[in-house]
A and B are shown apart, each in its own frame.
Chain A
């Protein structure tokens, strides 16, 4: 590998260095307790998917260039210059990682291998080895933000079409407001109407003063591992929220989008936002408990189970609100085992569903989730994350699970009684 490339890689690691990353690289005992926590390693037994190994590749560069001991006695630490072989393995292990952080939960030192993987992705990008598909999706999102005047009319007329669809489905006019200055809520949905229609029905029924963002919540810059681009993508709706003067930004049922907005954005922007960020299920749970919307407690007759998306649960702290919502509309609720902070990743996080080269390991690594779902005997899976839904839908086909996989808010829209009730989505 050329010296210039090595310098770029080392410089990138230097730029990404912070206290936590340094400590994670310094103290890992390579005890491999993490091996049984990772759905990919459990499914494949392949060393490159062992969480500590994912970090070890970065550790080898760190030891060589950031520690005197590694510089003088590299063999002791297997410290080395980055080369094509290292980058090949790094690509597979870093972009396959779903960032579920189950390994961090079980690590006796709480080493966040996903944080090290984030640095690894930065190195891959700097070396020109970032994932191409995710990179293109990232650039497309940024192009949209940079050329909003070109897209504005198309987006607004698209929302009007969704409004018409909703009217045809429910028999009532349910508005989808856009650009409402001073609204209480800026709702950030995903591309497509499936995350807009049920939310519109719920906001309408609750009498909420809301407005729909013109930008989708999905953030491929985050999956790519490029915080600068990820920030620019999130800037689109954060700046929109500031301009409209809303009280809160509500993120749709999308795991990583919620984590980006709630956990990462202020750190990236280096400023405190003048509004709070909430997940849509926190809002809906509040509406039900406050009596702002009325739901039929026996609306969903089938047995329902709930999947904790890693970015909302273990990494976002939202465990009970979705369960309370589902229990409020489905009398036959069966939780998976394990659940909450120990739940298994479905295998579809971290943008892996967009990377065809990982299809085999992705489907294989969903095995634990399939076992969990089967054990509940449920025929409906409530799942508040788009990537998880895509992954579990594929597992559903492969393993013939016979599941109906739905966003939680879609179940709520089905269960609503009163003025805004009616078939949605």
Chain B
């Protein structure tokens, strides 16, 4: 690994994970230490039971039906993006361990084909959603509401997705190669396997990881803390 690879796909990964995990924990701890509003801030109607409130919290957070009714286009983009991002994340877990039950069903070739199609679809959907958001924020009537943070996050996402899509569609390397690199990360001895080290694809991987690292490091200090905060604020909506 050269210094750039080490920075992005080696040591950078550990730094990003530590900052992300610590930062999110810090943010949650900060919120928990701030006293709750004594005033009731619920909206009506609201469920009468705790179970009902919990159910509504899940619906509001994961489906946001009210938002869909008033702004269907952006909500479709948001849901598609989040689902695709979740699918991509799950797909990346293959780097940690092969999905053996799926391989047993689909066979090695079938698994690779499935991963290629599902990963490719996720990558295209994420790219389309990010471009839509970028366009909406740049050319929309309310662009004056946007701040540099909004563009930074979109730029990082665009970088992650573009490089990810490059690895998926152009890279030409199979999962086993990336698994070897990932195994080295897990053993705290980051190194590229020979096939990756000798391929120009590693540049795409390095840039992909640079954007991922930066995104994870910035995450806890950004509006993206809605990833955990939205549960709390949506609960207030139907609180007692």
Partners in one complex: yes
Chain A residues packing against B (C-beta within 8 Å): 17-24, 26-33, 35-37, 45, 47, 50, 52-53, 56, 67-69, 75-78, 101, 104-112, 115, 263-264, 267-268, 270, 313-317, 319, 340-341
Report the interface size for chain B: residues with CB under 8 A from the other chain. 48
The stretch that binds A, out of B65-73, B93-101, B120-128, B172-180, is B65-73
24 A–B contacts from the bound complex (CB under 8 Å): A19-B34, A20-B236, A22-B34, A23-B233, A26-B27, A26-B229, A27-B226, A29-B226, A33-B75, A35-B142, A36-B71, A45-B141, A47-B145, A50-B142, A76-B148, A77-B148, A104-B237, A105-B43, A107-B67, A109-B234, A263-B39, A314-B43, A316-B44, A317-B44
A27, B40: Cα distance in complex, Å = 20
Q: Which of B31, B40, B237 contacts A22 (CB 8 A)?
A: B31
A317 touches B37 (CB 8 A): no
A109, B66: Cα distance in complex, Å = 11
Chain B residues packing against A (C-beta within 8 Å): 27, 30-32, 34-41, 43-46, 60, 64, 66-67, 69-71, 74-75, 78, 140-142, 144-150, 152, 221, 223, 225-226, 229-230, 232-234, 236-237
Known: A26-B27, A109-B229, A110-B236. A31 touches B45 (CB 8 A): no
Known: A30-B223, A106-B70. A319 touches B237 (CB 8 A): no
B45 touches A20 (CB 8 A): no
Known: A69-B221, A105-B66. 7 other contacts (CB 8 A): A19-B31, A19-B37, A26-B225, A28-B226, A108-B78, A109-B233, A112-B41
A175, B50: Cα distance in complex, Å = 45
A77 touches B31 (CB 8 A): no
Nearest to A320 among chain B residues (CB) is: B45
A23 touches B31 (CB 8 A): yes
A381, B37: Cα distance in complex, Å = 36
Distance (whole angstroms) from the CB of B23 to the closest CB of chain A = 10
Distance (whole angstroms) from the CB of A226 to the closest CB of chain B = 14
Q: Which of B34, B140, B147 contacts A32 (CB 8 A)?
A: B140
Chain A residues within 8 Å of B233, by CB: 20, 23-24, 27, 109-111
A26 touches B223 (CB 8 A): yes
Chain B residues within 8 Å of A35, by CB: 142
Distance (whole angstroms) from the CB of B20 to the closest CB of chain A = 14
Chain B residues within 8 Å of A107, by CB: 67
A20 touches B36 (CB 8 A): yes
B70 touches A37 (CB 8 A): yes
Known: A107-B67, A317-B44. A77 touches B149 (CB 8 A): yes
A115, B38: Cα distance in complex, Å = 12
Known: A33-B67, A45-B141, A109-B234. A317 touches B45 (CB 8 A): yes
Distance (whole angstroms) from the CB of B47 to the closest CB of chain A = 12
Chain B residues within 8 Å of A26, by CB: 27, 31, 223, 225, 229
A27, B226: Cα distance in complex, Å = 5
A108 touches B67 (CB 8 A): yes
Known: A20-B236, A316-B44. A110 touches B146 (CB 8 A): no
